[in-house]
Amino acid sequence: MTSIFDRDWIYSTLNLLPTIPVLSWNTRRLARVLRGVFWRFSLQSSTRSFVLLLPLVLCLLLTTPAFAGDHGQPLWFDLVTEDTKAAASFYEDLFGWEIGPARGKVRPISHNGHLIAGLIEINDELPNKSESQWLVGIVVDDLTKAVKSARSAGGTILRDVTKVEGSGTYAVIRDPQGAILIIGTPTREIGGPREDGNFAWVELWTDDLDAAAKFYQTVISYERNTIEGPDGASTVFETEGKPRAGLVPTPNEDARPIWAPYIGVADLAATLKRTTELGGTIVLAPRADFGGGRVALIEDPTHAMVFVAQLKTDKENSR
């Protein structure tokens, strides 16, 4: 019978827990932290001492702010727009979103009960205040360090570290090529399952792939990698071996660098038809050489653009 003081058993258990997706993010977070604490502690003391001190360690962890999401994971999306009423009407109809009343300056956007984004009216405090746009938010485990790294790597800090009560901390940066990004450390669960109507992917469209890769490796510890998929090879940013975002060259010299979100849909043709009925515009129609004909770029009535992508069925994913 294995003892609770067995070093290998404790470490293997703590190593397994963060990989179990059905566990809550907070449980997985605790396991990751305890794994690190145990490893360092066991090098200098006995395993028995660690087990006896475990209640104290848990107490300290549970009284610190919880951390939602993994480092490098795109988790939050903000639509900044000059007409929140028109935008809300469009997206509620098109994707079945629930957009609530403003909490401070932000109207929360939910899908099937999961908080997924925010809707913000453009004002003088927001970047690029002259145009509506979607902003991507990426999780970092040390926001102050990430902001400092962004500044030293040639980025611009559009908003320094800001605390939002009950939600976490965030900052807004612009990379040297001009793409705007939110980075933050959320303290509440955000996002939802990969499903019709939720965000499915993000890409950085930039005019200098090498410079962008170097910048985000410095700021977020992103590793650049090439992966093979059904539509060919693609370049991605990864953390912990997991693809987090695509890295794509801008299509022409007139296109400005942006972080572009993708929203998954069950029926792309029906979504595009409804887009035009609601006053939106199809900027880029589906074509075989881009996403296998399963992707389109649309513009909402306030002129903010977002990609829509037809999600693969379970049968297609099993092939």
Tens-digit pLDDT string for the chain (319 aa)? 444 445 565 556 656 655 555 455 555 556 666 666 555 555 455 555 544 444 544 444 444 444 457 899 999 999 999 899 999 999 999 999 999 998 888 899 999 999 999 999 987 455 555 689 999 999 998 999 999 999 999 999 999 999 887 788 999 999 999 999 999 998 877 888 888 999 999 999 999 999 999 999 999 999 999 987 766 778 999 998 899 999 999 987 788 999 999 999 999 999 999 999 999 999 999 988 777 789 999 999 999 999 999 987 544 544 4
One-letter amino acid at 266 equals A
What is the predicted pLDDT for the residue at 10?
A: 59
CATH 3.10.180.10 domain position(s) in the chain? 74-317
Q: What are phi and psi of 37, to 5 degrees?
A: -65, -45
Spatial separation of the C-alpha atoms in residues 73 and 242, rounded to whole Å: 9
Q: Which two tokens stand for residue 65?
A: 């702010």
* 74-317 fold: 2,3-Dihydroxybiphenyl 1,2-Dioxygenase; domain 1 (3.10.180)
Q: Which helix (H) or strand (E) holds 309?
A: strand 305-310
Rg for the chain, CA atoms, rounded: 21
pLDDT of residue 193: 83
Query: Structure pTM?
Result: 0.77
52 CB burial (10 A radius; 0-12, 13-18, 19+): exposed
User: What pLDDT score does 53 carry?
Assistant: 46
HEC secondary structure over 209-243: HHHHHHHHHHHHCCEEEEEEECCEEEEEEEECCEE
